[in-house]
Amino acid sequence: MRIVALTGAGISAESGISTFRDSGGLWEGYAIEEVASPQGWIKNPAVVLDFYNQRRKIALNAEPNEGHLALARLERLFELTIITQNVDNLHEKAGSSQVIHLHGELFKSRSTKDSQLIYDIEGWELKLGDKCEKGAQLRPHIVWFGEPVPLLEKAIAATRIADIFMVIGTSLQVYPAAGLMNYVKASVPKYIIDPNLPPVAKNDALFLVPEKASIGLPKVAAQLLQENA
């Protein structure tokens, strides 16, 4: 059985990683275009590097919660693919091995000259002067606003063949990730786990769990494991 889980900021927030977009449109005090756009990078790369360095420092010490661990347990019995909007590595820390990072990965950098050159970041710091093998500055391996989402087609392909689809800790307001629901077969059971349930059309294949990921996801996982033991 193939399970696909789409995860968002809510599951990481429970591990102490800020969702950082507030009502003023700021991310931890920064305007979005300052730190999450190609234009911001061109204007002030030092500010962009510092922003992600601080996020990386927090994520380095963050631990997966019961939601992450529940997904890892499901992988032991099912073919589980996680499509995450999160850039942290908490799914991997929990033991999940098939993770599609739609918006990039915080602990990786890539060349500003050749996007195929991607490197792991040891520790938390990426600095001006850190260069790729072709001599170009390294940038965070993050999908910024206005940039294409390279792994979207891979995510769509996984979604099309899902036998169960889960939506965890996301408002289904951020595209293109929110559009993945459109690729799930109508008959496939869909679980939405979030204390603030997004507006979705109800049908017999839809199961709403109005709880935090750390509470609702272990319950759903236990049910699925029991039914398929």
103 is catalytic: yes
List the structure tokens of 41: 């990078």
Pairing of strands 26-27, 30-31: antiparallel
List the catalytic residue out of 68, 91, 101, 103: 103
Q: Rounded to whole angstroms, how far apart are CA atoms 41 and 102?
A: 20
Q: Rounded to whole angstroms, how far apart are CA atoms 98 and 187?
A: 24
- Residue 190 forms beta bridges with which residues? 165, 206
Q: Which of 147, 17, 153 is nearest to 86 (CA)?
A: 17
Known catalytic residues are 103
